[in-house]
Amino acid sequence: MSINSESDKAANLVIGPTSLGMVRIYVEAEGIELPMDFEPDEALEIADELRAAAEQAMAIAGDPKHPKKHRGEGRTAKLGTKLATKPATKPGGGGGRRD
């Protein structure tokens, strides 16, 4: 499956801090629970990539509220970046590593 492949599968996404100071992205779908913990600086990098992708998607869709499309400017996302995840237990359960 690629970024442009459509699917009718659904998942729940929960994002929040853990009790150990990590940022957890928790994905739950049919028969799957996937907790991913990130250091706060890694989470900020993910947020930057998500914002850049949203800006690019708005430009592709021709969103008139997107100013960069009209100025010929754009932000390049770090596409395909692999981020290391840390094992965790339950949403908000404070999994991951302790420094």
58-98 residue pLDDT tens: 999 887 676 554 433 443 333 333 344 444 445 455 444 44
Q: How many residues does the chain have?
A: 99
11-36 residue pLDDT tens: 999 999 999 999 999 999 999 999 99
Q: How far is CA 61 from the centre of its chain?
A: 21
Task: Say how many C-beta atoms besides its own lie within 10 A of residue 22's C-beta.
Answer: 23
DSSP state, 86? B
CB 36 within 8 A of CB 25: yes
